[in-house]
Structure 1
Amino acid sequence: MAQVAIITASDSGIGKECALLLAQQGFDIGITWHSDEEGAKDTAREVVSHGVRAEIVQLDLGKLPEGAQALEKLIQRLGRIDVLVNNAGAMTKRRFLIWLLMSGARFLPLMSTVHSYARKLRLVRW
């Protein structure tokens, strides 16, 4: 059974490149996207061209439980998780102090996703 990597925000940029590099190494890939579904589908097509599986799920880190739910969907579809590349982030065009105050709220969903992943690793005794 192939190892599974989930890469958040892998619809473009660094996340997409991580997905393709891991696919070249034989990993099945879980792809998340926020607003570019076509980009996620393109990434999935390129991943599959390396002879591995790809699944896509939308992820909005602005909604607290969604990170863990998206991760859970991908684990169910791909059968396991071995690697999490937490590439997704939340950006704003607000002034720095406002951003600083808001960043705490944006940090919680990210940590929720990581916490969910850590529990899965404990279950497989990683």
Structure 2
Amino acid sequence: MTQYSDDRVQDQQPGLEHEMDPKPDYAPRYPGSGRLEGKVAIITGGDSGIGRATAVLFAREGARVAFVYKTEDRDAEETVRAVEAEGGEALPLRGDVGSKDFCLQAVSDTVERFGKLDVLVNNAAEQHAQENFEDVSQEQMEATFRTNIFGQMFMVQAALPHLKKGATIIGVTSVTAYRGQDLLIDYSATKGAILSFVRAMASKLADRGIRVNGVAPGPIWTPLIPASFPPEKVESFGKGSTLGRPGQPNEVAPSLLFLACEDSSFMTGHVLHPDGGEALAD
């Protein structure tokens, strides 16, 4: 069984993929079939983890990909290389989704570069583990909500003027929206808010022909894990799932592809659950 090393615990959010041991698996498993041919996608948090895996898979399926990242330049460069290795085009956009002005600029830059926008994946997030809820500072709460839910709302507001009938929006929520997580109470609250946001926007945008769905991963081996938890939690991460292990980013990205393409054309307001059966493991 793979051991998830605790000697690379990180001290910054949202974490650095190139420092992880072992490295997450982001490579697509199957040949592309053109399911996003001619499409343009923006993926927030696309430098690493689920975002990188999604960017690479979308590129394999024919999409041109813009991706947002905060400060992780080295990881962003690897995502660009991986997208280009699939024959795709990548546009890295450095900034904070917690800023509405940045979100507006990111969408504007994408449309200027690629001419349109078809798919928005809201994936960027941060989390900060706290043993005692009374130790969660106001600053931490505000930062977590600003990145996780305000960022999704800002990106949707920025994208909507450019989205046409047939476009898709996908919000990444979490198993914690359904079962909570006692070390991540403010994070869990934001993920519950994302779930409600997905459902409300699905209803709101149905008459415009824009579908809105979500993905709720369970324990996935991404940079957020060593950046959030103490060594003993990193070592045992994911072992409580029904499958007894953490998932890999490339085990989540296919759910995002399904919701982005026409395979899910009769689905809106729904959430897929690549969680290793964690919701059953009580």
Instruction: Tell me the TM-score range normalised by the shorter chain.
Output: 0.7 to 0.9
- Is residue 63 of structure 2 the alignment partner of residue 27 of structure 1? yes
Of 116, 131, 136, the residue aligned with 1:80 is: 116
- Alpha-carbon shift at residue 92 of structure 1 (Å): 4.3
Of Structure 1 and Structure 2, which has the larger fraction of its residues in helix?
1
Which residues of 2 match residues 74-113 of structure 1 at below 5 A?
A: 74-92=110-128, 95-96=135-136, 98=138, 99-100=140-141, 103-106=144-147, 107-113=149-155
Q: What SS does the aligned partner of 2:98 have?
A: coil
- Once residues 103 and 38 of structure 1 are traced to their aligned partners in structure 2, the CA distance between those partners, rounded to angstroms, is 24
What does residue 90 of structure 2 align with? Answer: 54
What does residue 16 of structure 2 align with? Answer: none
Q: What SS does the aligned partner of 1:30 have?
A: strand
What does residue 119 of structure 1 align with? Answer: 161
- Once residues 79 and 142 of structure 2 are traced to their aligned partners in structure 1, the CA distance between those partners, rounded to angstroms, is 34
Q: Gapped runs of 5+ residues in structure 1? A: none
Q: Name the TM-score, length of structure 2 as normaliser.
A: 0.40
Aligned AA (1:77): R
User: Which stretch shows the higher mean deviation, 105-114 or 6-15?
Assistant: 105-114
User: Which stretch shows the higher mean deviation, 17-26 or 99-108?
Assistant: 99-108
Deviation string, structure 1 residues 85-112 (Cα, Å, up to 9, x no partner)? 1111243467346344655544334311
Contact 1:11 1:36 in 2 (8 A): yes
Inter-CA distance 75–100: structure 2 relative to 1 (3 Å threshold): same
Q: What SS does the aligned partner of 1:116 have?
A: helix
- Once residues 90 and 65 of structure 1 are traced to their aligned partners in structure 2, the CA distance between those partners, rounded to angstroms, is 20
Contact 1:32 1:58 in 2 (8 A): yes
- Alpha-carbon shift at residue 67 of structure 1 (Å): 1.5
- Once residues 123 and 153 of structure 2 are traced to their aligned partners in structure 1, the CA distance between those partners, rounded to angstroms, is 12
CA RMSD of aligned residues (A): 2.2
- Once residues 11 and 28 of structure 1 are traced to their aligned partners in structure 2, the CA distance between those partners, rounded to angstroms, is 15
- Once residues 115 and 121 of structure 2 are traced to their aligned partners in structure 1, the CA distance between those partners, rounded to angstroms, is 17
Contact 1:34 1:60 in 2 (8 A): yes
- Alpha-carbon shift at residue 119 of structure 1 (Å): 2.3
- Once residues 102 and 80 of structure 1 are traced to their aligned partners in structure 2, the CA distance between those partners, rounded to angstroms, is 31
Q: What SS does the aligned partner of 2:100 have?
A: coil
Considering only CA atoms, is the larger Rg found in Structure 1 or Structure 2? 2
Q: Gapped runs of 5+ residues in structure 2? A: 1-36, 167-282
How many residues are treated as equivalent by the alignment?
124
Relative contact order, higher structure (CA 8 A, sep 6+): 1
- Once residues 101 and 72 of structure 1 are traced to their aligned partners in structure 2, the CA distance between those partners, rounded to angstroms, is 26
